[in-house]
Amino acid sequence: MRTAPRVFLFSRKLERIKSRMQLARFRRNSRTLTAGSWTSCLHYKVRINDGLNFYVLYKDIFVNRIYHFDAKGPDPLVLDCGSNIGMSILYFKHLYPRARIIAFEPDPVIFPYLRENMIRNGLTDVRLVKGCLSEKAGSTTFYSDGKYGSSAAVQLPADTPQNAWTKYEVPAVRLRDYLGEPVDFLKMNIEGSEYRVLEDSRDHLRMIQEMVIEYHHLPGLPRTLHKILALLDGQGFEYLVSDFDSETNPSVMPPFHLTPETRYFLLIYARRVG
């Protein structure tokens, strides 16, 4: 009676070890990839802007499946907020080839990679919005390193390497303007602006069935985790909070040391109930 659980646990342990070894090889190989390189991801061809960025996106999205969701039909509506080079879109289309996707990416350096990856893989029903999500439509200041670091927050993280980031004026759009019909899944990774955008859409959030929000706890930025969770609760969502893994997020691993300079990231998964 006790043998089966032990065999199952041993099998799971072997799977985790094998997965870690595969990822280690993948990371080593990704270091040789330079900006503009083409590489493979499942049956897709991907033009990358940075080898390490591609590795992290592949690990989180395709291996750890942080944006997995169970759609009720074959053509779910997905809002992809902060699309970068489009790896999350490739995952959604891998899950649901008929998915309808609206993708937001403000970075003028990264956006051409996103567009090219959509065209190269022949993806349809994907609308690309070259704009930054904000609480006000118009234009906004946006800072970026052209790879994976960016911010449209009211203030930059205190440890931002100023000489490595470029300042842009980019179009600003409101999330609420895209919540006029039921949304099956919302993915949000907008580098510290998450609460302002969600609060602006408060009365429209019930149009969303499921979502994953990346919360950014960065030096100098407002602490809004409690506000986001209260907002979700008030709009009829159950939620759970994940801390990624020790490689992505070492600051949340014990022993704990929390200072004003601590950087960490959390994933908030929320599902509408009732």
**Token duo for residue 26:** 């993948």
Is residue 161 helix, strand or coil?
coil
Instruction: Write down the pLDDT at residue 3.
Output: 58
| Sequential DSSP letters for 221-264 | S---HHHHHHHHHHTTEEEEEE---TTT-GGGSSSP---TT--E
Residue 119: per-residue pLDDT: 98
**86: in domain:** yes
Does residue 42 sit within a domain? no
- pLDDT tens digits for range 51-99: 989 999 999 999 999 999 999 999 999 999 999 999 999 999 999 999 9
Instruction: Average the pLDDT over 109-121 and give the result.
Output: 97
Residue 2 has pLDDT above 80, yes or no: no
Residue among 207, 216, 263, 213 nearest 240 (CA): 213
How does residue 6 score in pLDDT terms, banded at 50, 70 and 90?
A: low
Give me the chain's average pLDDT, please: 90
Q: Is residue 55 part of a domain?
A: no
Q: Which two tokens stand for residue 68?
A: 């997995």
Phi, psi of 237 (to 5 degrees): -110, 140
**Residue 175, domain member (yes or no):** yes
**pLDDT band at residue 25 using 50, 70 and 90 as cut-offs:** confident
- 47 lies in some domain: no
How would you classify residue 32: left for phi > 0, otherwise alpha for psi between -120 and 50, otherwise beta? alpha
Answer whether residue 100 is part of any domain: yes
Residue 27 domain flag = no
> What type of residue is 234?
G
Domain assignment present for residue 256? The answer is yes
What tokens does 12 get?
Answer: 């799971």
- Give residue 14's pLDDT: 67
Q: Render 19-59 in DSSP notation, one character per residue.
A: HHHHHHHHHHHHTT--TT-EEEETTEEEE-S-HHHHHHHII
- pLDDT at res. 245: 86
| pLDDT number for residue 16 | 67
Quote the number of domains for the chain: 1
pLDDT above 60: residue 46: yes
Which pLDDT value is given to residue 147? 72
Q: Which residue has the higher pLDDT, 226 or 155?
A: 226
Using pLDDT thresholds of 50, 70 and 90, give the confidence band for residue 209: very high
Whole-angstrom CA distances from 211 to 68, 105, 126, 194, 227 are 10, 18, 18, 12, 16
Q: For residue 252, what is the domain's CATH number?
A: 3.40.50.150
- DSSP-derived letter for residue 62 is I
Q: Compute the distance between CA of residue 65 and CA of residue 18 in angstroms, rounded to an integer.
A: 17
Task: Name the residue range of residue 112's domain.
Answer: 60-272
